Amino acid sequence: MINIRKTRLMTKLALYETGEGREDIRLSKYYKTDYVRLHILKTILAVTVGYLLILLMVALYKSEYLIAQAVNLDYKAIGVTVLVIYVVLVTVYVVGAIIGYSIQYDLSRGKLTRYFRILKIMKKIYREEEGSGTAAGKEEESNG
Amino acid sequence: MVKILELRSLLRTYYQKFQMAVDPLIKFVAALVTFLLINKAIGYNEKLEKTVVVLLVSLLCAFTPSSILVFLAMAFVILHIASASPFMAMFVALIFVVLYCFFLRFAPQYGYVVVAIPILSTLHMPYLVPILMGLVANPITMLPSACGVVVYYMLQIVKEHTVVSDSFALDDILPFYTEVFEALLACKDILIVSGVFAVVIIAVYIVRRQKMEYAAELAILAGAVVNVFGFLICDLRFGSAVTLGSMILGTLLSAVAAFVALFFKRVLDYTAVENVQFEDDDYYYYVKAVPKIEIGIAQRKVEHINEKDERTEEEEDEDDYEEVLDEETGEVIFRPRSGNRAGGQVRRQKGGKSSGYFYRKMQEEKQKIREEEQQRARAEMRAAKRYESGEEQYLGEDDLLRSEQKRFYQAPHEEGGEPGDE
């Protein structure tokens, strides 16, 4: 016979797993530090790619000047400026990523606690079912 | 008021009924409008302008996540520009990648904002986006909204400067590219609009989070005021190209649209029917989960029993509807005090109770249920802790378990009778 309470709990679990919980469950595989570190790496990579593309576009925009002044250019000063801007940009994004992804991780943990609580109740129900199943079997044997 | 409540419950009912069709239909219309507007704005490619293509792509967007719509809209833009000037298309594609790297990848779920801002700009109400985002999302939406602003102004500039040319020779493309790049750098409005939108999103978000009555409504007003003043200040200080008259009118329209959106959000939030599938050892379950809806309770004023007699007639009139318990369905229904008075009287004669009686009764019942739930949750937590600490062998004798077992296995016995009775 269908256990109504179990069905209700399983529905709640399934709703969470297919909805917002999908991302939370994926996050639960990581430790917080690992998760934040992974996203810092991804952020640095994305910022680097974006910055290189901007540099490419600026270089193309200034290409006439760059070609004309190729010999006279102060490459050291340009290099330092480009590097300083890059470092500042990466620092801002990394700090933002640390804060943002930490908050995201903590929020997902909060939601997962409820999910695990329902899982524990499910476990208990299964144990009860097993217990009552064996007890009923024994009763039948003794009646028979 | 009653009309609105009736409309609300009607909308909920119909939404739950036709949810399967309504959701894709809304997405289809949104996608159709997006692609038609892109075609109208930069329709260089005749193949993409064909109705069949637009309809097919919109149909695809109706059944896929919103990120697909964003991707396809960007692809449409690039393909259109590529028909006129492949080099310009490359430039636009590069800008899209930069925008993704710097902004969009942090909030990919809000990608539709990037599409919404240029589209609403054609209707002179892009101000709706920051107000709505502050209302329903969080401040991270500043990033996609900045992206949307950049995309809008970039498309304007590209449209102005694009000349038909399929040349890749540096001599041909360089002056043209320099012109576009300079126009993009000189466009102060990108920074001004992005900045004001960011401030509006934060203002709306902060007011919305306040624990006070009508926080959401006040947040919309705050957003509209901040928007108007933000643009006025920027106009005086930096001289933006935003037309003030159209901005103020657009903000007012956006605020009205935000109120309408808020109404629908309250009506349709958490009312979506969910279909889930799962299985256990014995069964496959196909469950349709229909959320319970509490009619209007959240908007009711709290009625103090002791102060009831002191209420003047004027105060009584302020409540233009009363709540009555429908004895057949067990639901609380609302009935106008002035309009359908006869029905209300009949019901009061039956029960002989005052109009607040059922409401109070229901609140008491709710309180009882809440207390019971809390007790149960505490007991479950205790049991779980004991289980975690390795005392599970004693769990079987726990009071909670015994009561739980009783509750679960008594019901079938009661229905079918005790096995021993026969």
pLDDT score recorded for residue B324: 57
Contact B181 A61 (CB under 8 A): yes
**Of B133, B117, B125, B103, nearest in space to B205 by CA:** B133
Q: How far apart are CA A103 and CA B33, in angstroms?
A: 36
CA distance A74 to chain B (A): 23
B34-37 contacts, C-beta under 8 A, 24 or more apart: B34/B69, B34/B73, B34/B115, B34/B119, B35/B72, B35/B73, B35/B76, B37/B118, B37/B119, B37/B122
Helices (H), B85-214: 86-102, 112-122, 128-136, 142-161, 170-186, 188-209
Write the CA distances from B264 to A56, A89, B117, B215, B296, integer angstroms: 46, 41, 21, 16, 14
Asked if residues B65 and B108 have their Cβ atoms less than 8 Å apart, the reply is no
Q: Name residues whose C-beta falls within 8 Å of residue B240's C-beta, 6 or more positions apart in sequence.
A: B188, B189, B192, B193, B231, B234
- The pLDDT tens digits of the residues spanning A11-34 come to 888 888 887 788 888 888 889 999
For the four alpha carbons of B151, B157, B163 and B167, in that order, the dihedral sign comes to negative
Give the residue carrying structure tokens 């899982």: A119
B416 chain-A contacts, CB cut-off 8 A: none
pLDDT score recorded for residue B350: 42
**Of A32, A42, A108, A91, nearest in space to B108 by CA:** A42
> Number of folded domains in chain A?
1
Give the residue carrying structure tokens 């109740």: A121
Phi, psi of B328 (to 5 degrees): -75, -45
Domain spans of chain B? 2-268, 363-416
Q: How far apart are CA B100 and CA B147, in angstroms?
A: 8
pLDDT score recorded for residue A84: 96
CA atoms within 13 A on the CB side of B415: 5
- The pLDDT tens digits of the residues spanning A53-85 come to 999 999 988 888 888 888 888 889 999 999 999
pLDDT score recorded for residue B96: 92
- Complex ipTM: 0.80
Rounded percentage of chain B residues whose pLDDT exceeds 70? 72
Q: Which of A3, A7, A100 sits opposite B106 (nearest CB)?
A: A100
Q: Which residue range(s) make up the domain with A116?
A: 4-21+41-128
Mean pLDDT of chain A, nearest integer: 86
pLDDT score recorded for residue B348: 41
- The pLDDT tens digits of the residues spanning B246-256 come to 889 999 999 99
Token pair belonging to B205: 């978000």
pTM score: 0.68
pLDDT score recorded for residue B43: 80
- Judge whether A35 lies within some domain: no
Asked if residues A115 and A24 have their Cβ atoms less than 8 Å apart, the reply is yes
- Judge whether A143 lies within some domain: no
CA distance B122 to chain A (A): 29
Q: How far apart are CA B310 and CA B294, in angstroms?
A: 29
CA distance B189 to chain A (A): 20
Q: How far apart are CA A21 and CA B226, in angstroms?
A: 36
pLDDT score recorded for residue B329: 57
Helix B142-161 with B86-102: angle, nearest 10 deg: 170
Amino acid at position B340, single letter: N
pLDDT score recorded for residue B394: 46
- Judge whether A56 lies within some domain: yes
How many residues belong to chain B? 422
- Judge whether A36 lies within some domain: no
Which residues of chain B have a pLDDT value below 70? 1, 163-170, 240-241, 269-271, 292-359, 387-422
- Judge whether A140 lies within some domain: no
In A, what residues contact B, Cβ < 8 A? 1-3, 5-7, 10-11, 13-15, 18-19, 46-47, 49-50, 53-54, 56-57, 60-61, 63-64, 96, 100, 117, 120-121, 124-125, 128, 131-132
Task: For residue B279, list its beta bridge partners.
Answer: B284
